[in-house]
């Protein structure tokens, strides 16, 4: 996460945000990753967005939001780690990851509506 939040002048292009999110999703889909690990890494992002200032959105913030939105979709819908027809993966702590991502994304755009309670997720 610290690499996404590092000072930068360039906003991702050419689906870099999707590729970074795919790498993150692949790690989160591992069964040995605990709930604490699967959601705890977002603390750094939570702090970053909690310190935001008025003005133009810095490139690291834009890159992080775009990456986390892509990760949210991959976590919610499942993903294939490669183009060769592998089985779809869904992180084992899907509900917890979605809730944590939603909370962090809400910090990045606080005028969006408050998160609604989600029904239980089926696989």
One-character DSSP codes across 36-78: HHHHHTTHHHHHHHHT--SSSPPHHHHHHHHHHHHHHHHHHH-
Q: Is 15 left (phi over 0), alpha (psi -120 to 50) or beta?
A: left
Query: pTM for the complete prediction?
Result: 0.87
State residue 67's pLDDT score.
98
Q: 24-76 pLDDT, tens per residue?
A: 999 999 999 999 999 999 999 999 998 877 888 999 999 999 999 999 999 99
- Based on C-alpha coordinates, what's the Rg of the chain? 15
State residue 117's pLDDT score.
57
* Contact criterion met (CB below 8 Å) for 27 and 33: yes
For the CA atoms of 10, 16, 22, 23, the dihedral, rounded to the nearest 10 degrees, stands at -60
Question: Closest Cα partner for 121 from 84, 88, 83, 94?
Answer: 94
Show me where the domains of the chain are located: 2-108
* Contact criterion met (CB below 8 Å) for 108 and 49: yes
State residue 119's pLDDT score.
55
Please give the average per-residue pLDDT across 94-113, as a whole number: 87
State residue 122's pLDDT score.
56
């Amino acid at each position: 996460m610290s690499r996404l939040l590092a000072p930068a002048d360039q906003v991702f292009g050419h689906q870099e945000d999707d590729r970074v999110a795919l790498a993150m999703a692949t790690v989160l889909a591992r069964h040995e990753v605990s709930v604490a690990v699967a959601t705890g890494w977002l603390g750094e992002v939570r702090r970053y967005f909690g310190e935001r200032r008025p003005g133009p959105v810095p490139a690291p913030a834009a890159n992080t939001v775009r990456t986390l939105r892509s990760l949210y979709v991959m976590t919610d819908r499942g993903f294939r780690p490669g183009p060769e027809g592998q089985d779809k993966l869904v992180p084992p702590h899907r509900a917890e990851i979605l809730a944590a991502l939603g909370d962090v994304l809400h910090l990045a755009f606080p005028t969006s509506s408050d998160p609604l309670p989600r029904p239980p997720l089926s696989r």
